[in-house]
Chains A and B, each alone.
Chain A
Amino acid sequence: MSERELGRKLDRCLADGVIKLGTGLGLGIVFSVLFFKRHTWPISLGSGAGLGMAYSNCQNDLRSHYLLHRNQKVER
């Protein structure tokens, strides 16, 4: 079902976002805790990085159809 593809992708994006955000947050927290003397910037960095990564992944995932991939290139 092609109509569920988007849903799945969005689910993945969301999941990924959550994870990345979480992870980023986590890491950020960790880092902030650990390394950056509980500055908030690593948390925000981490979360932002996480969120950004998630956004980027989502975007890539959503675009992946329109982009030629290396293996496809090879096939061509």
Chain B
Amino acid sequence: MLRLLLRGAAGSARKNGGRGPVAHLQPLRQYSSSQSSGAAKVVAASLLTVGGGIGGTVLYAQWDHKFRATVEKNVPYSDSVFGLILGPAPQNAGPPVRKQVRKSTEASVEATQIISASGDVPSVPAPCDTEPTVVTGNTHEHCDECHPAGPEAVLHGADSPTEQLVERPAEEVSARLAQQDQDEQNSPPEEKSVQWKDLEAALMDRTSAVTDATAALQKANEALDSLRTTIRNSKDLKVAAARPLVLAAEENLHKMAVDLDRVVAQVQSAEAESKIVSQYSDLVQEAKLQFQKEVSSLTPEIQANWKGLTGKLSTDDLNALIAHAHRRIDQLNRELAEQRVREQIHIDAALQQQKLEDQRVLENAVSSSLQHVKEEARLEQERKMNELREVMEAEMRTQLRRQAAAHTDHVRDVLKVQEQELRAEAEQVLSSKLLDQETRHRQLTQEQLDNFTLDMNAAYARLKGVEEAIDSHLVAEDEARRAHQLWLSVEALNHTLKTAGAEEPSVPLDSAAQIVRDSCREDDFASALAEALPAESLSRGVYGEASLRARFNSLRSLVRRVALIDESHNSLYQYFLSYLQAALLFEDQQVAPPTQLSSEDLDPFKLLSYASYCLEHGELELAAKLVNQLKGEARRVVEDWLTEARLTLETRQVVSLLSAYANAVGLGTTQAP
């Protein structure tokens, strides 16, 4: 971009030197890199104006040598460019600007004199525009040479853009006027009409050129304004990339404005200078009009261009005209005398006015140049600022990038830390909340469970109670039943005991005992008792008491007979003796036994009587005990009886125990709760 700017600057400098149409391509190439449509417009307008400026400069230099000399003096390398395009420059020493101004003023004054001198020649007053201030070369020979080139220049001016028109026609016309002045001074009066005609033509050209110039100036101003607005818009857009282009466009705009201002200044100076002439011309025009009015008042049918009406005028009219003319001449002479008197005053006034105008022009020029300088300084500043800005921006970008990187790292770390913290916090909160919830839930469930358990326990307890009650009832009933059964079986057993006949034993107690055993399976006591029944009783049955009694009675006699027989006395003789004893001894049949047996009670006979007494009184047990006291052969004899008695007693004891037990059990079970 910087290279482009430099190239643009160099190119514009070169353009000011005026390379001509060849240079047109370079600006195009340089500005081809514009990016926005605004910039394109800017570029196109700048291209046009700059190219026009260059072309105009070149062409004008070709036409006006002073101008060319000025340009060559001011712009380096322009002399070589001019030499390339236009050919070598004619050698001329350029008078300074003021001298030219004075010269032009003198020229205008001379023109006025000429016009006043040749009053009968109605002519359009010729404004003598001064040569433009930039023109350095002398006009005389230039004018001679430029004269043929003048119309061509005019034609060229028609084609070329605005500033040229502004410059060239004015310069050309002034040059032409000056030239014509000189020529007029030198030329004979016969050529004056030709000169006046030329002047007329030149004046017309000038007016047209002035109008064209104003129009062109307006257009140029408009274009510059549009360019300025475009530049401002593009500045407002603040697109960084367009800034150098904008800067270049601004510079170009500035240069164009400078040129325009310069040219406008020239035009204005020329106009100022020509004002006098224009004033004079206006006066002349006014006089002419007045004259015409007089003439027309005299001769109404005469028209303005009365040169061609010479044959149509009557003598009266002519006389009237001549008289009027004489009168006018008198008046004019009078005025001239007056004027001569007041000449100095007028000159002073004019000088003063001119001074004022010069001062104004100077002020304008100073202000415009100041503006230009300010503008240049501002542009320079802008350029420098742009460069600096770019550098700063690049640096700032890198710094910002670094900062951004650092920031992102930092932010990432902080975010990580924060994330962790937040996560920990959130987890903590979550866990605490969860714990609370859990504990609450557990509490609730526990409560529910407890309640439920309590209820269940209560119900269960009640159920258990009920069950137990039922069971106990069942058990009690079962026991009662069993007890009853036992009792029944025991009763049966008891009954079977009573089945003992007179001489036969009872029925075997086995079945009854079995029944008893069955009915008392769970009862240890009863079962033990049931087991305690002697086997003989079970298998064979027991004898009843009556049978035993009877048997004892039958035994008694035998026992009496063998009473003396024992281990030592057991011969046959003893037998005989005991028989004898038995035959001879008489004892009581029944004697109540004493509570305590003494030794003398151990006599068999006594024992027998005791035993029979006991038997008679149903005390089998005592009888058996007493009989047990027998010794010897007697004992041998009663052994079986004793066994039977013992058996019976045993059985009876067991049965009685069982029945007692069954009764007790039955009583126990049938107890009311």
> CB within 8 Å of B: which residues of A?
1-3, 5-7, 55, 58-59, 62-63, 65-66
Contact = CB atoms under 8 A, between A and B. Distances in A.
A2 B613 CA distance: 22
A28 B1 CA distance: 194
Interface stretch (B321-329, B374-382, B634-642): B634-642
Nearest to B558: A3
Closest 10 A/B residue pairs (Cβ): A2-B640, A2-B639, A59-B572, A66-B567, A63-B570, A3-B555, A3-B637, A1-B640, A3-B558, A59-B571
A7 B554 CA distance: 13
Contact of B570 (A1, A3, A55, A66): A66
A14 B572 CA distance: 12
B631 to A, nearest CB: 12
B562 interface: yes
B575 interface: yes
A5 B635 CA distance: 12
Given A2-B641, A3-B554, A58 B572 contact: yes
A62 B571 CA distance: 8
Nearest to B559: A3
B596 to A, nearest CB: 29
18 contacts: A2-B636, A2-B637, A2-B638, A2-B640, A3-B558, A3-B637, A3-B641, A5-B636, A5-B637, A6-B562, A6-B637, A58-B572, A59-B570, A59-B571, A59-B572, A62-B575, A63-B570, A66-B570
A59 B638 CA distance: 20
Interface string B541-563: 00000000001001100100110
Which bucket holds chain B's interface residue count? 10 to 19
A3 B640 contact: yes
Q: Which of B561, B637, B641 has the most CB of A within 10 A?
A: B637
Contacts of B638: 2-3
Interface of B: 551, 554-555, 558, 561-562, 565, 567, 570-572, 575, 633, 636-641
Contacts of A62: 565, 570, 572, 575
Nearest to B573: A59
Contacts of B575: 62
A1 B637 CA distance: 8
Nearest to B637: A3
Interface majority SS on B: helix, strand, loop or mixed?
Answer: helix
A2 B640 CA distance: 5
Contacts of B640: 1-3
A55 B572 CA distance: 7
Contacts of B551: 3
B294 to A, nearest CB: 219
A12 B584 CA distance: 26
Nearest to A9: B575
Q: Which of B570, B572, B636, B637 has the most CB of A within 10 A?
A: B572
Nearest to A57: B572
A3 B571 CA distance: 19
A54 to B, nearest CB: 10
Contacts of A2: 636-641
A58 to B, nearest CB: 6
Nearest to B568: A66
A60 to B, nearest CB: 10
A26 B637 CA distance: 36
Q: Which of A6, A7, A58 has the most CB of B within 10 A?
A: A6
Contacts of A7: 558
A26 to B, nearest CB: 23
B649 to A, nearest CB: 18
Contacts of A6: 558, 561-562, 633, 637
A15 to B, nearest CB: 15
Nearest to B642: A2
Nearest to B632: A66
A3 B558 CA distance: 7
Given A2-B641, A58-B572, A63-B571, 9 more contacts: A2-B637, A3-B551, A3-B555, A3-B641, A6-B558, A59-B571, A62-B570, A65-B636, A66-B567
B648 to A, nearest CB: 16
B641 to A, nearest CB: 7
Contacts of A3: 551, 554-555, 558, 637-638, 640-641
A14 to B, nearest CB: 12
A63 B565 CA distance: 10
A22 to B, nearest CB: 19
Contacts of B637: 2-3, 5-6
Nearest to A54: B572
A3 B555 CA distance: 7
Contacts of A1: 640
Nearest to B566: A66
A1 B641 CA distance: 8
A59 B565 CA distance: 12
Contacts of B565: 62
Nearest to A56: B572
Q: Which of A7, A58, A59, A66 has the most CB of B within 10 A?
A: A66
Nearest to A7: B558
Contacts of A65: 636
A3 B640 CA distance: 7
A2 B633 CA distance: 10
B557 to A, nearest CB: 10
A5 B638 CA distance: 10
A2 B639 CA distance: 6
Contacts of A5: 636-637
Nearest to A65: B636
B405 to A, nearest CB: 128
A5 B562 CA distance: 12
B417 to A, nearest CB: 114
A63 B571 CA distance: 7
Nearest to B643: A2
A63 B639 CA distance: 17
A3 B637 CA distance: 5
Q: Which of A3, A5, A55 has the most CB of B within 10 A?
A: A3
B147 to A, nearest CB: 201
Nearest to B640: A2
Nearest to A1: B640
A24 B638 CA distance: 36
Nearest to B557: A3
Contacts of B555: 3
A64 to B, nearest CB: 9
